[in-house]
Amino acid sequence: MKDFKAFLLRGNLVDMAVGVVIGVALAAVITALVTDLITPLIAAIGGKPDFSSLSFTVNRSHFLYGAFVNALLAFVVIAAVVFFLVIKPVNALMARRRTDPPLDETTQKCPECLSEIPIGAHRCAFCTATLG
């Protein structure tokens, strides 16, 4: 039981659970946005108020492609919201916080042949020039 409790209380498992819950809530909001605002806006231009009723029949088989159009619109809007409101700002924030560590220089260029030699060397191993 102790191992199970340690597994449940690990930070990354809790973070993932919070992310899933927030993702589900965001998906519900975006789905409502698509079905209540964007679909009627597109329908106002095209003349059909709800895409879910669009269908066609082939040999007595009924194909409901309107529901697919609604789901496709919801997916595109969710992807756009996640990209523009989550990914782009987080990347910009991480780029702003990122600092390049100072380089630990262990080599220098030989003034004669421009080959890489250790900082402490007194003579170039390639051209045997004496370093000052």
In this structure, are 60 and 115 located in the same domain? Answer: no
In this structure, are 112 and 90 located in the same domain? Answer: no
In this structure, are 80 and 109 located in the same domain? Answer: no
In this structure, are 53 and 107 located in the same domain? Answer: no
In this structure, are 50 and 28 located in the same domain? Answer: yes
In this structure, are 22 and 80 located in the same domain? Answer: yes
In this structure, are 70 and 123 located in the same domain? Answer: no
Structural domain of 131: 103-132
Q: pLDDT at position 119, please?
A: 87
Phi-psi region of 3 (alpha: psi -120 to 50; beta: other; left: phi over 0): alpha
Average pLDDT over residues 125-129: 89
Report the candidate in 107, 105, 102, 111 with the shortest Cα–Cα distance to residue 130. Answer: 111
Across-strand partners of 117? 108
Please answer whether residues 65 and 55 qualify as being in contact, where contact means their C-beta atoms are separated by less than 8 angstroms: yes
| CATH number assigned to the domain comprising residue 22 | 1.10.1200.120
pLDDT tens-digit map of 28-84: 887 787 778 876 777 788 776 567 778 889 998 888 888 888 788 778 877 887 788
pLDDT tens-digit map of 93-120: 888 888 766 666 888 889 889 998 888 8
Q: pLDDT at position 21, please?
A: 92
Q: Count CB-CB contacts under 10 A for residue 39.
A: 21
Q: Count CB-CB contacts under 10 A for residue 74.
A: 19
Record the pTM.
0.48
Domain count, the chain: 2
